[in-house]
Structure 1
Amino acid sequence: MFDLIQRAIIPIVAAVLALAALLAGWVWVALLLLAVVALGIYDFLQRDWTITRNFPVAGRIRWLFYRLRPYLRAYIVEDDLHGTPYSFEARNLVHARARGETDTHPFGTERDVDAEEYHWIGHSIAPEPDPDISPRVIVGNDQCARPYSASVLNISAMSFGALSANAVRALNLGAKKGNFYHDTGEGGLSPYHLEHGGDLVWELGSGYFGARDKDGRFDAGKFRDNAAHDAVRMTEIKLSQGAKPGHGGLLPAAKVTEEIARIRQVPAHQDCLSPRGHSAFSTPIQMMEFAARMRDLSDGKPVGLKLCIGQPHEPFAMIKAMLETGIYPDFIVVDGGEGGTGAAPLELSDWVGMPLTEGLVLMRNALVGAGIKDKVRLAASGKVYSGMGLAENIALGADWCNAARAFMLSVGCIQAQRCHLGTCPTGVTSQDPGRQRGLIPEVQGERAARFHAKTLEAMADIVAAAGFRHPQDLQPHHLMHRTGPEKAMPMDRIHTFLPEGILRDAPDDTIYADWWAAARADSFRPGIDLVPARAAAKNIPAEM
């Protein structure tokens, strides 16, 4: 009995105090206390929740602190460097640059330079006096009639629906002001993407939103009409994304408004799930033919592929299809497994998909090793938010980088992680007009452009310190990485970087011999039994 009294102490004390309040004539106080007593009786008798059945009212305090836990961690507990997915330092850097506040740091680095994750760019005694502070990359091979000059930092794929209308407006205005591109994501081309005239990359996923027939298949006529917009500068086939590769896109029902349903041509107020794979193609050769068709339908605008790298023989199958058909996409975007999204199964986010560094190196080796890197540009996306992130990825083989969450932070996101619930406190990912009113596109668009410019300036400082004018001069050996507290190595001694054409001329001399042998232009399935081939292999890559 004493144990029961201890566990029910809150409603018991409330009952005693309510009686005292009634005797003292404090009716309103008594009513409030009786409400606590009633809640305690309800908790004690209900059958759904063990904690409140055994600890009436008190168990609810535990629920309260669970709800407060993310905010307490963010504002009180976490240090500057170890918050996830973005640390306080990262968030504060983006916010400072977006607002035009100082982004300098006093008293030296706070990072542990002996930690295994520490890495740095080697500087030169002869720095470059005049670095390019707004470097560009020409996208478009000789099969493209309308090449595009891209910034080395752009907005990664985020759909209207995943983002609010005001967030899309702000990002596109930032792209217009800062002269960089804005990837639409797979959710279709909305009026908000077109409102300010910023450059767009129209992404087409397996749902073909904005270019689909009544059965959800690709509609060439609708695609041609939308791709004809002047603002659409390139198109992109989404094969997978880092946060949930192999799953397809997901927009929760709470965010599928009538307007979004109309743009995507799907039922309103139901989960909008893209299929796991494309219906327009099923083999590497068919993929290249579809890319060529999209390029033709868009009147020669560059076309690209976006994917998170998974099984290594599959990128090589794509390369073999390019070589066999003679069709070359204008660019490939590698999305790292650490990429973010508004809604994804936890296991897919945590454990499926190759992280960006490994995926970028593999795709770079596939293109260079096949001798076609001059035809196909390479972009990287995955937690890029700083000048160092740009410099690092470009040194590893990327021509440019895309960022999604960093640009969300630049227009007001505070990493509340309510994206999937439709209750974003800053209106960035909410479809609630009451929440969206807090985000003023004209103000936040300016901040997105400022973040972009300041980040490019920071990258230019790094490039100049290394002795170069353009970031494309950075190479893997300029990037050093710790392999232990007493040892560091350049990245070209940690990862393999293939020489030009070796996969085409002497694949057996590379660490990718078995993956290359397994790759087929006519199928994504391996062409050999990889188990005995891998068991007998002499050159098994340590990084895989």
Structure 2
Amino acid sequence: MSLSVGSIDFSREWVSSQPQPTSTAQISTQASTTSPAVAAHPRFRGCVVRRWSAVLVKDIPASWRGRAPAHHTPLGGSLTPTGARTGDRGGLASTDVPSLSSAVSAALAGAAGLAVVAAHDLLQRKHSILRNYPVIGHARFLLEGVRPELQQYFVERNWDGRPFDRDIRSIVYERAKGIAGEQAFGTERDVNEPGYEYLVHSSLPVPEPEQPPRVTVGGPDCTRPYSMSLLNVSAMSFGALSANAIRALNQGAATGGFAHDTGEGGLSPYHLEHGGDLVWEIGTGYFSTRTKDGDFDAAQFREKASYDVVKMTSLKLSQGAKPGIGGVLPAAKVSQEIAQIREVPQGEKCVSPSTHRVFTTPVQLIEFVARMRELSGGKPAGFKLCVGSRVDVLAMVKAMLEVGTTPDFIIVDGSEGGTGAAPLEFEDHVGMPLTFGLMTVHNALVGAGLRDRVRVGASGKVAAGNDIVKRLIQGADYTNAARAMMFAVGCIQAQRCHTDTCPVGVTTQSARRQRALVVGDKSVRVKQFHEATVAEAVKLMAAMGVRDPADLSPHQLRLNISPHENRSYAELYEWLEPGELLTDPPESWAGDWAAASADTFRPTSRRT
């Protein structure tokens, strides 16, 4: 088949006989010698131009291909950067690379979108910065959103992060993974800085005991004492933590031989699943043991306290991070399951009252603790508090003397302790730090001649072996850790605990987010962190010449007063002698001792 255009017989044979160009220069020559009538013929456009396209694409730099605009051909059409002529069915489809018109359309759409955002920003009335700086003002909120991550990963130094610095987080992560957690080249801390504390080693260290020492909790009125580890899982509720986090902590406690405090949120199935030793904590909401009107249910308590895994029961008076306001579980975390366990409405903020219904005086407090011990079948019973007034502590001590019984233990929670949700004013400005609260409780019991009947636990930023030894010197018999245990199960200190959006599944009730936390793996990490940390504490005590924690002395902990002076805790603070408050109270304690009454938590006289 052939067609005539002018004087040329235009056929397939003719097209095929045309020389194949090898450069853009030859294409230009062919184009200039081809008549317009021939160039416009579809067969010429469909056959000859394809061969030209291959040469044009070859001459396009590789870095331009796929993003350069279409190239116009000498015949009036255009060639895309891939060599296909626009509108031609041959070669690659023209939709493989956006055409110029598509790019213009996208740009116009983007501009329209920005215009809509700008109009919204100018008209909205909530954010001043957006009214003055539409569109670009959103950068401020974006940067605020990523500020914690930028601060933690790129700004803070190894030793000055808060609440926990990078050094502490790293040592927990490494020990949880079974890594030694050692460091090279020496300390990065300023050892001459005021406030720096250090332990006093001995010139004659002693061998480490084969097994870490343990503490027997249970006074003379307790018939089923419990052997407590030097480090345990501090109070964290199901609800504040996810089900998988509770499972991992409890399984770690079961395999590692230490106790797991349930927190005040109730005794959940996840606390019971792996058989770890439990300290069942009862708060002002009496969750898991409450009547319909929110009062304490003795029958429920007796039944659940009899579980074999429940080794001790604890009454929460206050918490270090938010003393005086009770507990708060945000509405976002009150799922149907949590509502059933706590016996509260689903989807509403769950607030534990600030005060208890079961007592209003120190005497009633001590009597209720004794009742808890009786209902549990003789298991150790005690209470937890963040110390506020020293008079309150002394009033409790006087109540113990009056009633004739004591709690088996007292847990002192420092104001530096953590929480899932609390007002900033309470976190930062209410409550006594652990150092002073611990020494207050210890000295009050010693001065009243009751210290040998009551074990003292300490909680508040305990994460390393030196933290354990330091608290033992200050008056504790054992320690509890919450956030360090959270690090062991994967916490990255995102500080989103109250939002239910924890990125690692530790403090969320989202099933999708909880999936990130693999119980089997994280339970091993909890066990390994506990084991390594207690081992380091024992090693430190051996270096100090001590095998039994009871032999530690305030002389073995020193504090820098200035860059040129340091003193031991024995020199800095007053340490009462056994029974001293009963015979001849020192002047510094006499006023508070006189103001304290077993019948009220209010001071009864003016203190000096």
When the two structures are superposed, what TM-score results if normalisation uses the length of structure 2?
Answer: 0.83
- Could you say which residue in structure 1 is the equivalent of 2:41? none
* 1:136 corresponds to 2:200: no
Contact residue 200 and residue 234 of structure 1 kept, 8 A: yes
Aligned in 2, Cα 1:251/1:25: closer, same or farther, shift over 3 Å?
closer
Specify the SS of the correspondent of 1:379. strand
What per-residue deviation string (whole Å, max 9, x for no partner) do you get for residues 281-301 of structure 1?
Answer: 000000011001110000000
**Quick one: which of 418, 423, 426 aligns to 1:348?**
426
Q: 1:264 aligns with which of 332, 338, 342?
A: 342
1:467, CA displacement in angstroms?
0.7
Q: Distance in 2 between matches of 1:83 and 1:516?
A: 40
Structure 1 residue 472: Cα displacement: 2.5
Moved more, 413-422 or 460-469: 460-469
Alpha-carbon spacing, 1:254–1:24, altered in 2? closer, same or farther (3 Å): closer
**Post-superposition shift, 1:235?**
0.2
**SS at structure 2 position matched to 1:108:** coil
> So what's the TM-score if we normalise by structure 1?
0.92
Distance apart, 1:338 and its partner CA: 0.6
Does the residue aligned with 1:233 lie in a helix, a strand or coil?
strand
Paired letter, 1:525:
R
Residue 512 of structure 1 is matched in structure 2 by 589
In 2, Cα distance between equivalents of 1:34 and 1:91: 47
Any idea what the Cα deviations from partners look like across 1:175-228, whole Å, max 9, x if unmatched?
001100000000000000000000000000110001100110000001111101
- What is the percentage of aligned positions where both structures have the same residue? 53
Q: What secondary structure is seen at the aligned counterpart in 1 of 2:396?
A: helix
**Match for residue 31 of structure 1?**
109
Moved more, 197-206 or 32-41: 32-41
Q: Does 1:488 align with 2:566?
A: yes
1:239 equivalent in alignment to 2:350? no
Aligned equivalents of 2:266 and 2:174: distance in 1? 32
Say whether residues 1:225 and 2:303 are aligned partners: yes
Structure 2: distance between partners of 1:29 and 1:135: 72
Q: 1:108-507, aligned counterparts within 5 Å?
A: 108-131=186-209, 133-507=211-585
Return the alpha-carbon distance in structure 2 between the equivalents of residues 463 and 74 of structure 1. Answer: 33
Q: Aligned partner of 1:446: which letter?
A: V
Q: Is residue 292–residue 329 contact of structure 1 (8 Å, CA) maintained in 2?
A: yes
Name the aligned partner's letter for residue 89 of structure 1: D
| Equivalent residue, structure 2, for 1:528 | 605
**CA gap 1:512/1:28 in 2 versus in 1, 3 angstroms:** same
CA contact (8 A) 2:208 2:538 kept: no
Q: In structure 1, give the amino acid aligned to 2:357.
A: S
* 2:6 equivalent in structure 1: none
Residue of structure 1 aligned with 2:172, choices 94, 98, 117: 94
Correspondence for 1:6: none
- How much does 1:269 deviate? 0.5
The one-letter amino acid of 1:76's match is F
**One-letter amino acid of the counterpart of residue 282, structure 2:** L
**1:434-453 deviations in whole A, cap 9, x for unaligned?**
00000011110110010000
Residue aligning to 1:46: 124
CA distances 1:63-122 after superposition (whole Å, capped 9, x unpaired):
100111101001100000011000011111100100112301101111100111211111
Distance 2:231 2:569 in 1: 22
Distance, in Å, in 2 between the alignment partners of 1:314 and 1:132 is 41
Deviations 1:431-486 (A, max 9, x none): 00000000011110110010000001111111010011122221111111111100
Report if aligned partners of 1:239, 1:307 keep a CA contact under 8 Å in 2. Answer: yes
| 1:501-531 deviation line (CA, Å, top 9, x unaligned) | 1011112x2411111101000111111123x
The structure having more radius of gyration, on CA atoms, is 2
Instruction: Describe the SS at the equivalent of 1:168.
Output: helix
Query: d(CA) in 2 for partners of 1:23 and 1:45?
Result: 33
Equivalent residue for 1:104, pick from 154, 160, 182: 182
Whole-angstrom CA distance in 1 between matches of 2:110 and 2:405:
74
Distance in structure 1 (CA, Å) of the matches to 2:202 and 2:276: 37
Q: Is the 8 A contact 2:382 2:410 kept in 1?
A: yes
Residues 239-280 of structure 1: per-residue CA shift (max 9 Å, x gap): 000000000000000000010010000001001000100000
Q: Which residue of 1 aligns with 2:94?
A: none
Report how far residue 22 of structure 1 moved: 8.5
Q: For the residues of structure 2 that align with 1:41 and 1:527, how far apart are their CA atoms?
A: 65
Q: Partners in 2 of 1:73 and 1:188 — Cα distance?
A: 36
What displacement does 1:32 show? Answer: 2.5
Change (3 A) 1:26 1:468: same
Output the amino acid matched with 2:122. Answer: F
Please tell me whether the aligned partners of residues 208 and 539 of structure 2 are also in contact (alpha carbons under 8 angstroms). no
- Size of the alignment, in residue pairs? 510
Unpaired runs of 5+ in structure 2? 1-98
Mapped to 1, the partners of 2:514 and 2:265 lie a distance apart of 19
Deviation at 1:23, TM superposition (A): 6.5
Task: Work out whether residues 132 and 470 of structure 1, in 8 Å CA contact, stay in contact via their aligned partners in 2.
Answer: no
- 1:542 is matched with none
Instruction: Describe the superposition over 1:147-169 as per-residue Cα deviations: whole angstroms up to 9, x where unpaired.
Output: 00000100000000000000000
